[in-house]
Every structure is written in C-alpha cells, then in structure tokens.
Amino acid sequence: MKAYNLETARQHRDKITELYLHGLGISEWPSIVFELPQLQVLCLSENRLPEAPETLSRLTRLRALDLSGNLIQTLPASLHGLLSLEEVNLSGNRLSRFPPVLGKMPGLRKIDLSFNQLRSLPRHLGNAPGLVSLRLNRNRIKELPAEWGSMDRLQELQLDQNLLPSLPDWVGHLRNLRLLGLSQNKLRELPSDLSGLKMLGQLHLERNKLGCLPDALGNLSDLTEIDVRRNELEKLPDSIGRLRGLRRLLLDDNRLKELPAPLEKLQSLRLLSCQGNQLGEWPSFLGKLPRLEILEWGRNGLERIPDEPGKWPALERLGLQGNSMVCFPISLLGLPKLEKVTGLPNSARAMRFVQACRQSAVPAPQRRELFGLWQGDVEAHNLSKEALREGLRLALPSLRKSILSVLIGQSRAQIDPLRSAIGILGTTRLSRPDWKEKLEKAGLTYHETGAKAPSHAVLGGGILEIPAAWWKKGVAFMEESVLFQEVRDREQAYLQAMDDPGRLGRLLQSGQDASLRLSVSLLKNGGVPPSLMTDLYLAWRSVSDRKLKKELRDLLLLHTSSGGRRLLEKVRVIYSPEQIEEACRDSEFDPARIWAWWESNSR
C-alpha cells in the first residue's frame, strides 16, 4: 500500500509498503517512519533533513531510499545491514566524501550522488558486483580509481560536470555500459582502446577540450547518440561512417572545416547538428541521408544551398541561422515533410506556401513558378497556364486573388448572343436561378454545370479550381460587374423601346413602400437605366423599412459604376454642395437633385 502523508501511514502502519513525503519542508525524521515493518520504498526528497539516523537500519525490507535535496553530510555505518536495499538517491545534499557504507552493500544496483561536493572516490566501490547505475554528476572529482574496472555489470556511468582531465583505460572495457556521460570536464583525449564498449548506446562529451576522436569509435556498433558539442575538434575520423545505428550526432561549436564523406553511410541518422563550425559549403552527401529529420547548419558561413540538396523524405526542421543567405532557397520547396526553417528572411511566409502546395499536391515545376509570385519576384501574368490553374487550388487567398485578376484581365472576348454561353464559378451577389432568369431575359444562354465548357465565365469569390475543360477551350473570364453591365445595356435598350423610365421614376419618387416594392421588382427584372440611378439613390436614403432599404442598396451596388461608389460610402450628413459635387464626379448621379434632398432633410 502507498501513502503520501503521515496520517495515512499511522492509520495503516502494518500495510504501508511505499511512503512518499516529497517537498513537505520536514526538518526532523517522523517517528512513524521507523514503525512501518513492511516498508520497501521511502522517499523524503526535497525537505530539510540534516542527517540520516541510525534507526534507518530497522527498515530491513527497504529496497529504495530517496533522500535527494536535503542537507545530509554523511550516512551511518549501520546501514550496511539493509541487505535488501538496491537503490540509493542522495543527490543534491552536502556530501563532501563518498559514504563508505555504500561500498559495503553488495545488493546495491543504483547509486545517485550527483550535485554534492565529492572530491575523491573510494576504491572499495569496485567490490559492488551488482551495480548497474552510478550517477556522480556535478561534483569535484578529478580521478577515477583503478579498482573500478571490475564493475563490469555497470550500464550507466554519469560523471558530467566534474574536473576529470583524463580517463583510465578500464573505461573502455565496461562491456555492459549503455550510457557514458562525461560532459563538462577537462578531457583532452579519450582512451585509444574502446573495444570493450560493445553495448554503448549514448556517449556525452559536451564542453571538454577534445582535439580529436579515436578511430576506435567506429567500432562501437550500438552507438545511437554522440554529443561532442563545444570541444576543439578539427576533424572527425572516417570510421564514424561505420556507426550504422547512429541516430543523433551533435557537433556544434568546434573547429570543423569539413565532414568526412563516409557520413553518407549513416542511414539511420535522425539529427545532425553542426552549428558554429567553419564548414562553409554544403556537402553533397548530406542529400543521401534518407531518415534525417532535423538538420542544424547555423553559423557556418553558408551562402547558398545546392539546386538539388537531396530528397530528404523525412526532413522536418532545418536551421540556417547566422549564415549569409538572403533568400529562401527554391530547392527546399519539394521536401515532403519540411515543417520549419529558421534563420532565413521570410522563412515563416515561405513555409506557409510550402505547406499549402503540399496539401494540394502541386507538381514541382508549377510550385517553383508560383513561389516566384508568392515572394513578389514574378508577375502573375508571366506564369504558365498550368501554374495559374494549380495556384487557384492553394489555400492562399492573396495568391488566388492575383491569379484571378490576371485571368479576368486577359479575357476581352465579346459576348455574342447567338454563340455565347455564360458560366458562373464561386460566390456571386445573385443566386444561380436569378442569374439564369436575368440572362435569358437579355437573350443570353446560361451555362448549366456539367455541360461542355462555356464561352464566358463569371469568376466570383471562394474559387478553388476551374474545370480542366474550361482551360482547354480558352474560356473568357470576367467579373460579375462586367456581366451586369452587359445585361443592363441590353435591358436599357428594352426599356427605352417601351418608354417606361418615366413611370418607374415616379414610383421611386412616391415615397410609398408599396410603390417602391413594385419598382424594385421591375428594376430587378429589367435593370436600372442611368437616368433612374438618382431616383433609386434618393429612394434608398428616404425609406425606413429595413428589408426594402437593403433591396434598394443591393440594386445600387449592382448597377453603380466605380465612380458612383464614392457617394454610396457617404453615410453621414453632407454639409455643402461641393461635397456632393465631388462624391458624384464621374458617376451617373445628379448632384443638384441630391444636394436639394440633403438640404431639405437636414433642416
């Protein structure tokens, strides 16, 4: 049974097997701790205990003792009677010497004395045949005892942040060692014979003074990680190419001017970090690492990436900060899993483009064309028809807008009532049924979806793709307002023939909702001639019914020229005829009539 407080421990003292009293500010040992006959795991970490008492020897079933983060300076000799004890954690205390009792406990498997003040190590620890993990990080150790070479079951040896100037030869013969941590010492070289480290998986040597690595390193076939950052390495041994299982290689902040070509054989490599060296050019063999996921190449004086850097089917992150590159390399556009590039101008924007192309499966040639448009280096009208088509499918509104404007600007084909069929794509102001009715009244043919390609097409909002058949036939594209103008011209001819504008004008001027609704219905079907635009504007300004007001405004928006839109935007009071004159300039509106209305309604 587990307990996380003293009250539970007191209530179930005969059943408690694990007691966790982490970070409670305890400065004295609770007596109940020594009254738990079944206790196997005791954790009193991050408290303020000044010592470990002799009475701990009563806990004969104890397997794990965690007293890390206290004020303990030594351990009592009586603890050697804890024959079941396998794990001891005394990291972060005030130990100035290795507790001798730990060397007399043959059952110990794990010892952690990191973050203390140890200056030397006992020889007799070599008599701990079952020891598999020894952590001595951040002490003041300058030497390893020769007798420790007999600890051949050791799997983890961590000596980071000490003062070791060299290593004894026996370190290279720990046949079961999986992790060797030697970062932040004063090592200038490694033992030349590492043949015994057959099972070593991780080698941490960051922040030493190593000038070279032994050729024997290439014989450690189980290595998956090498960290030699911040040393003085000028080259790497070719033998490193034999480490076929290597997954992480960290080489930052050394003096490397080149990487050995055999690195291309590291087919399992996931992370390669070479920041802060003198590598300059990008080695061609980098493109032959099929499982590479992260590549850090910052601060190397790199000026360009080759046009064909590599396929890199797995590359997700590329770091290029602190180099001399001024633009995003177009050669990176085709990498299938690239998610992040750092250290380049506008790299975040470029990656938005890359991800959009990936989602839409844009082919490489069109991707390169469209990237020029996205970066502002190429005008849209210089793109191929294939690139324009692919660009419309991208989830990049600004790019699609540029392409649509080009398509519309390139199309100037005249609408022939006998031969023209009008298609509509995207969102338009009028619904499809309304457009169909309007086109038929104007003597034009509405193109039904699914039929063959039309002769003309309105491009509305939200378009993601134009049918392939439309591209092949060379459909003439236009904005909705252009088609409105065409239909309006035809309707105006009809109205003039029928001599009806005068009657519609009187309906608009009546000020009666019923008359206005009738005029709206007629104008929707027949269009608004320029002579009625002023009447329509004044009716919209005068009416109070919200629905009717919206219908009148919609008619104005559909039939007003670009010059007339200035007047529609004047929603506040106008104080002078000059303001009206300016707002009506180059439009179909009569400024004198509109000023008279404003003047009469502002009194």
Structural domain harbouring 449: 411-483
Highest mean pLDDT among 340-349, 448-457, 578-587: 340-349
Q: Of the given ranges (110-124, 403-417, 517-531), which has the lowest mean pLDDT?
A: 403-417
Is 328:375 a contact under the CB 8 Å cutoff? yes
What percent of the chain is predicted at pLDDT more than 70?
A: 91
DSSP 344: S
Pair (543, 573) in one structural domain: yes
Is 176:198 a contact under the CB 8 Å cutoff? no
> Mean pLDDT, to the nearest integer, of 218-243?
97
In a domain, 2, yes or no: yes
In a domain, 338, yes or no: no
In a domain, 401, yes or no: no
What pLDDT does 446 receive?
Answer: 80
Please choose, from the candidates 390, 569, 387, the residue with its C-alpha nearest in 3D space to the C-alpha of residue 464.
Answer: 390
In a domain, 11, yes or no: yes
What pLDDT does 43 receive?
Answer: 97
In a domain, 330, yes or no: no
In a domain, 490, yes or no: no
In a domain, 186, yes or no: no
Pair (470, 583) in one structural domain: no
What pLDDT does 115 receive?
Answer: 98
Provide the CATH number for the domain around residue 83.
3.80.10.10
Pair (456, 515) in one structural domain: no
Taking 50 as the threshold, does the pLDDT of residue 498 lie above it?
no
DSSP 254: S
Taking 80 as the threshold, does the pLDDT of residue 260 lie above it?
yes
Domain count, the chain: 3
Instruction: Give the C-alpha separation, 215 to 223, whole Å.
Output: 14
Q: What are phi and psi of 158, to 5 degrees?
A: -115, 120
Examine the fold and report which residue of 133, 163, 193 is the final residue of a domain before the chain moves on.
163
Q: Indicate the burial class of 529 (C-beta count within 10 angstroms; 0-12, 13-18, 19 or more).
A: buried
What pLDDT does 560 receive?
Answer: 80
Examine the fold and report which residue of 163, 192, 212 is the final residue of a domain before the chain moves on.
163
Q: Of the given ranges (54-58, 267-271, 386-390), which has the lowest mean pLDDT?
A: 386-390
- CB proximity list for 484: less than 8 A, separation 6 or greater: 558, 559
Pair (520, 578) in one structural domain: yes
Taking 70 as the threshold, does the pLDDT of residue 175 lie above it?
yes
Taking 80 as the threshold, does the pLDDT of residue 103 lie above it?
yes
Pair (47, 157) in one structural domain: yes
Sign of CA dihedral 163, 167, 172, 175: negative
Pair (106, 153) in one structural domain: yes
Provide the CATH number for the domain around residue 424.
3.40.50
Pair (507, 471) in one structural domain: no
**How many other β-carbons are positioned within 10 Å of the β-carbon of residue 361?**
9
Pair (144, 16) in one structural domain: yes
Q: How far is CA 450 from CA 71, 317, 392, 443, 457, in A?
A: 82, 44, 20, 22, 14
- The angle formed by the CA atoms of residues 28, 30 and 32, to the nearest 5 degrees, is 165
Examine the fold and report which residue of 483, 517, 539 is the final residue of a domain before the chain moves on.
483
Q: What is the Cα 42 distance to its own chain's centre?
A: 43
State the DSSP H helix or E strand holding residue 421, giving kind and residue range, or none if neither. Answer: strand 421-425
Is 11:29 a contact under the CB 8 Å cutoff? no
The owner of tokens 């110990």 is 108
Please choose, from the candidates 187, 10, 602, 145, the residue with its C-alpha nearest in 3D space to the C-alpha of residue 203.
Answer: 187
- CB proximity list for 576: less than 8 A, separation 6 or greater: none
- CB proximity list for 394: less than 8 A, separation 6 or greater: 353, 356, 357, 360, 362, 370, 400
- The angle formed by the CA atoms of residues 296, 300 and 302, to the nearest 5 degrees, is 95
In a domain, 81, yes or no: yes
Sign of CA dihedral 467, 468, 473, 478: positive
pLDDT grade for 75, boundaries at 50, 70 and 90: very high
Pair (1, 104) in one structural domain: yes
Token pair in block for residue 49: 């205990």
Pair (561, 425) in one structural domain: no
Pair (137, 21) in one structural domain: yes
Sign of CA dihedral 377, 382, 384, 387: positive
Q: Indicate the burial class of 80 (C-beta count within 10 angstroms; 0-12, 13-18, 19 or more).
A: middle
Pair (509, 451) in one structural domain: no
